[in-house]
Structure 1
Amino acid sequence: MTPPAPASPATAGLLRASLTLLAGGAAAQAMPLMLGPLLTRLYSPSEFGTFHVFAAVAANLAVVGCGRYEFALPLARSDGEAHALRRLALGILLIVTALCLPIGLIWAVQLDASWPLALPLAVASAGLLSLATLWATRQQRFKALAAGRMAQHTGTTLAQLLGGWLHWGVHGLIAGGVAAALTAVALLRLPLGQARSAELTAAPSWRDVARQHRHFPLLNTPHAFASALQDTLAFALIATTLGPAAAGFWGLAMRYLKAPATLIGGAVSQALYPKLAAAGEVPLGGAVSLEARQAVRRVMLILSALALPLVALLWALGAWLFEWFFGNAWHEAGLLAQALALYIGVHFVAAPLAVVTMAWNAQAWALRLALVGQVVFVGALALGAHWGGLIGAGWAVSLAMLAYFGYYFWALATWPITPTSTATKAAS
């Protein structure tokens, strides 16, 4: 019997990077998940619902805070180009943060509340964290990325616990997230000032890199904004039609159910993106190498095998687990978890694959498909909520998104490959 071929250096490197990030992510997620029951006993479902509406709006603005130029960092061909991209992203973030000042003020006046005034700080901290994460990803400082994730997730929960004990209400939930994000930025060592002269030798201007990577703001920004808008509309729709407490149930369920995707998906995508980018530049909307497509197929198969037990567990024990873990007040969140199980399963597989279309220069296709997905998601949520309340909304979203992501997986798995790759495959 022929022994199995050893893993290629690229595959082994991807595995090591993924495991490093996974270990850091697991540690980062463990404490927040364990301390979650304390939060649900310090904050009411209505306070959580209000916070989730604020967080969704802040995240919606933060994803476009740097113009998405930070995602071009792994593609930069020199340190000078990377520093030009960093300066460009920081400048855009400063403008977006300034624009958030009047938005937060108008929101605060309309609601007669003070917590919306934190919107600029929340957007700025999230934008800086995204830029710092991609900066460290470019440099493949995976241990720093793991430490940053630990500070972000664990720090958020610890700070929110402190806010709960001090009876800060919604303000405590918001302050915890901002403080943790800024701590993670510091750990990731994002340079905020001028680069050293040696690093700027023959560096392009920010105008040059803005033109060179313009497909990120032109194509990826609408994509990212639409994806974040899905959560914003979901929370706004639920809060206005079913009440803040229902938004709290939805937010808690999504936070815990998406934790595995955040943990494993984040680690895989941060390791996969540089590897796909290093495989060579792909023509706009063009074919990719056979090796690149096979790598994506392997990732999908592995993630699918991990997702199936998660869906089965939620169907069998979701309602009981939520009530036991979070308290009797959160029983409806457990029923919602059962209804959302299918959606969580396919999202678990899809989450790390967002970087694939970036590396394959297929962002225009991804944007068109994502816009369809946003309409499908929000439409299913609205119809389900109208017919069956919060639980009906969960089942409607699961069924609709199962069909949507099924097409997405099939498209990536059958993506056209280059003629050279086709010939190589035939020869083998």
Structure 2
Amino acid sequence: MTQGLFKATATLLTGSVAAHALPLLLGPALTRTYSPEAFGQFALLWALATNVAVVACARYEYALPLERAEPEAAQLMALCGHVLAAVGLATLCAAGVLAWHSGMATYWLLPLAVLALGATQWLTMWATRSARFGLLSSARLVQYGGGAVLQLGLGWWLMGPTGHTESNALAGRWGLWGLCAGAIATALLAAWLLARPAPQGGWAACLRAPWPALRAMALRHRDFPLLNTPHAFVGALQDTLTLLAVTAWSGDAAAGLWAMSLRYLKAPASLLGGALSQALYPRLVQAPNAQAARQAVHHSMRLLAAIALPMAAVLLLWGPALFTAFFGSRWAGAGELARALAPYIALHFIASPLAVTTLAWKAQAWALRLALVGQVAFFAGLLAGLALDGLTGAAWGISASMLLYFGYYFWALATWKGIPHEGRDESLA
């Protein structure tokens, strides 16, 4: 099983390296084309879209690997599609209110962003169910690598290579459109790639799925919307509320610095962590016994820690110098944030891929309760740090407050006693 997990992770990692290398390599060009203000506005709108998209299918998509039979899987796919359409319609109404209240026409992009991100997440789990790891790698390359390329191309087309226009306000407005359009277009393209092959009966059959069958499927997997949806929403809400707090405290430029630092600091977690979680989840579900499942988690923890700790050390020692040299002088503040956030990012890097463990082990209720505690700890550190030392203080406050939380989380997973396979093991003993 360990060899299989390594092979699946390596396959996903191959595409992920290119997918995340492109945005990283294009970073200096992007930061010299788009202003911190434009990045701050984009980050807030994208955080809102992500917050909704993460629960756009009510987390029913995460039940797809549990459905082995094709007819039932097709019904679950139909249920996900209906829920996503309903959430998209509700977001369209909310976007109209936000656009009217703020006077920003870009809020009309919000429902399209939610549909693009929600569909990509849903269809990623569809590909994960059938272990189509090569397709997952290609889709990730299109979404993230292609997104950065398109954002840069749109920025040069709208504002020129150096981002100069007639006024800073005009540059910010055009920059926001370029960043949003590039990210949405490539997410839609990735979803289109992941949509093949269609579920049994084709996509048309999903639209015609009878309501009694959808209702039965919804009840069968009700733990996902009841327990995992609040957990996922609260987790995504963290980024949204953080950007709102930073914007309210220091303005759009500060939000841009914060978003840019986290974009690069969390890139390794998205790169390796996303690949590992997609490979780990079906392995945990299909593990022959509890010992094998526990060993897979222990192996993943050790691997992630061996990567995270050296990265954190580099940021603590040379974070400000690296960010200034790489992105330009107007982004120097992001380097100070990177140094302060380094301990938190290392812990998050280890924890992020392990989130699928509680899904496979049917521990969503425990994960939800712990996530709420984590949110309280995160915002306590954020707000205390803002009050004591502004933006940099907030970053150090988060790193300090999350240390005990993640320490308990790792210990709990490593010593977990309620693995579903354990009852089977005992009966066979």
- TM-score, shorter chain, exceeding 0.5: yes
Does the CA contact (< 8 Å) of 1:93 and 1:124 recur in 2?
Answer: yes
Q: Distance in 1 between matches of 2:202 and 2:239?
A: 40
Q: Distance in 1 between matches of 2:181 and 2:401?
A: 35
1:283 alignment counterpart: none
Q: Distance in 2 between matches of 1:393 and 1:221?
A: 28
Q: Structure 1 stretches (4+) deviating beyond 4 angstroms?
A: 190-194, 419-424
1:157 alignment counterpart: 148
Alignment partner of 1:416 is 2:407? no
Assess, with a 3 A threshold, how the Cα gap between structure 1 residues 63 and 378 changes in structure 2: closer, same or farther: same
1:215 alignment counterpart: 223
Q: What is the CA deviation profile of residues 222-249 of structure 1, one whole-angstrom value per residue up to 9, with x for unaligned ones?
A: 0000000000000000001111111101
- Equivalent position to 2:102, from 88, 91, 111: 111
2:258 alignment counterpart: 250
Q: Distance in 2 between matches of 1:378 and 1:106?
A: 28
Alignment partner of 1:53 is 2:44? yes
Question: Between the two proteins, what is the percent identity of the paired residues?
Answer: 51
Show structure 1 runs of 5+ residues with no match: 1-9, 281-287
Alignment of 1:28-427 (within 5 A): 28-165=19-156, 166-167=158-159, 168-190=174-196, 195-196=201-202, 205-279=213-287, 289-416=290-417, 418=422
Q: What is the CA deviation profile of residues 164-219 of structure 1, one whole-angstrom value per residue up to 9, with x for unaligned ones?
A: 1113210111111110101111221346788259x99xx99222111100100000
Q: Distance in 2 between matches of 1:293 and 1:12?
A: 15
C-alpha displacement at 1:421, in angstroms?
5.3
Q: Distance in 1 between matches of 2:217 and 2:391?
A: 46
Assess, with a 3 A threshold, how the Cα gap between structure 1 residues 88 and 420 changes in structure 2: closer, same or farther: closer
1:4 alignment counterpart: none
2:162 alignment counterpart: none
Does the CA contact (< 8 Å) of 2:99 and 2:107 recur in 1?
Answer: yes
Show structure 2 runs of 5+ residues with no match: 160-173
- State the TM-score, normalizing by the size of structure 1: 0.91
Does the CA contact (< 8 Å) of 2:268 and 2:349 recur in 1?
Answer: yes
Does the CA contact (< 8 Å) of 2:231 and 2:368 recur in 1?
Answer: yes
- State the TM-score, normalizing by the size of structure 2: 0.91
Q: Distance in 2 between matches of 1:114 and 1:32?
A: 27
Q: Distance in 2 between matches of 1:191 and 1:19?
A: 23
- Count of aligned pairs: 407
Q: Distance in 2 between matches of 1:304 and 1:44?
A: 35
1:6 alignment counterpart: none
Task: Please state whether the residue corresponding to 1:205 is helix, strand or coil.
Answer: helix
Q: Distance in 2 between matches of 1:420 and 1:312?
A: 43
Assess, with a 3 A threshold, how the Cα gap between structure 1 residues 162 and 16 changes in structure 2: closer, same or farther: same
Equivalent position amino acid for 1:28 in 2: A
C-alpha displacement at 1:294, in angstroms?
1.9
